[in-house]
Amino acid sequence: MFKTRQLLRALFNHRLTLERNGGLCKLFCMMSEAAIDEQQTAKPLKRAHEENEDSAEKLQATKKLKAEDEKKYPKKKVVLLLAYSGKGYYGMQRNPTATQFRTIEDELVTSLVKSGCIPENHGDDMKKMSFQRCARTDKGVSAAGQAVSLKVRLMEDIIEKINEHLPPQIRVLGLKRVTQGFNSKNNCDARTYCYMLPTLAFSPKDNDIGSIAAFRLEPETLERVNRLFASYKGTHNFHNFTSQKAASDPSARRYIIEMSCGEPFINNNTQFAVITVKGQSFMLHQIRKMIGLVIAVIKGYAKEDVIERSWGQDKVDVPKAPGLGLVLEKVHFDRYNKRFGEDGLHERLEWDQEEEAVKAFKEAHIYPSIVETERDEGSMVSWMSTLHIHDFEASAKATDTKNKDQKQDNAEEGNASD
C-alpha cells in the first residue's frame, strides 16, 4: 500500500513537471512568434521609408532636370508666321467652353505642348505663355500670313518640331524674336485680306443660271468693279457692315487703305479673280459685306448710291458674301519695324525670305480648297440666288436688321474676324 502511494505521488509530480515545462514552452513559443512578427512588421516600415526617400529623390531629380531644361532652352518672346487652310475648322480663336468645335489654335497649342516648346499647363491657360493672335478669322476662312506672339522654349529646329505635330493644312513658316512687351494684335498697324471668287459673281442677274465655266468677265465690268471698291477707301462708318453695332458707336469707324480686284485667271476651266483689301482693322463680317454689296450693285439688284447711304445713320440691308474665298494674306508692323527694326538687337517683322514658302502653301492647300469646294458645293452660286430677297431701297428698322444679323451669326457658329 505504501509503495502504491509513493508510485502515485511520483506520477503526479512528474505530471506537474511536464505541465510546468509545457507552459514555459508555450511562453517561449509566444515570445518567439512575437519577435518574428516584430521583425516582419519592421521590414515593411523600413521599405516604406525607403520608398519615400526614392520618391523625394525622383522629385528632386525632376526639378533639377526641369531647371536644366529651362536653362538650356530659356523661354523667349517670339512671333510665329502661320499659314492654314480654314476648311473644316471653326475659325482661328480657341474656345475652351466649346471643345467640340475644333479651331486652328487648338491644333497649334497641342503641337506646342507635344514638341516641348511650352509646358503642359500653359496649354490649359494660354495667358501663361502670353499668347496673342494678330487677327481672328471666321469659320472656314484661311490665312497665308497670320502672326501669333507667345513665349516659347527656344530649342534647336523649333519650327520643324512644331510642324511635326501639325496636320498638313496648318504650317509654321517662320519665327522671329521680338521685344518682351510685343503684342501681335496691338502692335499690328494694318491687315491685308484677299478674296478669291468666280467671276460669275459679277455677271448680270439674268445670267445667274448660266454655266459658271462659260462665263468671262468683260474689261469694262472689271473697271466698274474697281471704281466701286475704290469708294471704300478712307474712313467711313461701317456700322451696317457688321452685327449689333450702333451708328453712334465710335468703333464702327474704320480706315480702308486700299481695295481692288485683280485681273481674272482660269483655274480648273473656271474664271476666277482675287479681291485685295488693306485696312487698319476689320469688324466681324465687314469684308464679306463690303464685297457682297458691290456684287449686288454690279448684278443690278441695287443702285450705286446704296454704298454711300450705308455709311449714314440709317440701317441698310447689306448682303454678306460667302466666307469660302476669304484669306488673311498679310499683317503689317510698320511702327514696330521703325522703332525696333533698326536698333541692331531685333529683326524687322517682314517675311521676304519666307515668300516662296507662303506661295507654295497657298498653291498646295488654300487655292485648291477654294476651287474644289466652290465646284462641289457652289457656295457663291447658292448665295447669289438669295440676293433678290434683300431690300436695298428701303432703310430697314434697326431691330429687324439686328435680329436678322444675329440669326445669321448664330447659324454660322464662327469666330469674329478683325
Q: Which active-site residues does the annotation give? A: 138
Let me know: does 229 contact 252? Beta carbons within 8 Å: no
How big is the chain, counted in residues? 418
Asked if residue 412 has pLDDT above 80, the reply is no
> What are the pLDDT digits (tens) for 113-138?
999 999 988 878 888 899 999 998 98
Which of the two residues, 106 and 126, has the higher pLDDT score? 106
Rounded Cα gap, residues 181 and 188, in angstroms = 13
Contact at 8 Å (CB) between 118 and 82?
A: no
CA-to-CA distance for 333 and 349, rounded, in angstroms?
Answer: 6
Q: What share of the chain is helix, strand, coil (3-state, %, to 5)?
A: 45, 20, 35
In the predicted model, what is the mean pLDDT of residues 85-90?
A: 94
Q: What is the mean pLDDT of the chain?
A: 84
Kindly indicate the confidence band of residue 393, based on its pLDDT and cuts at 50, 70 and 90: confident
CA gyration radius for the chain?
Answer: 37
The mean pLDDT of 61-69, rounded to a whole number, is 50
61 falls in which pLDDT band (50, 70, 90)? very low
Rounded CA separation 16/12 (Å): 6
pLDDT level of residue 34 (50, 70, 90 thresholds): very low
Identify the weakest region by mean pLDDT among 15-19, 122-126, 247-251: 15-19
- Reply yes or no on whether the pLDDT at 212 is more than 90: no
* Reported pTM: 0.79
Nearest to 211 by CA among 411, 378, 406: 378
Residue 20's pLDDT band (boundaries 50, 70, 90)?
A: low
* pLDDT tens for each residue of 217-240: 999 999 999 999 999 999 999 999
Q: What is the pLDDT of residues 134-185, one digit of tens each?
A: 998 989 999 999 999 999 999 999 999 999 999 999 999 999 999 999 999 9
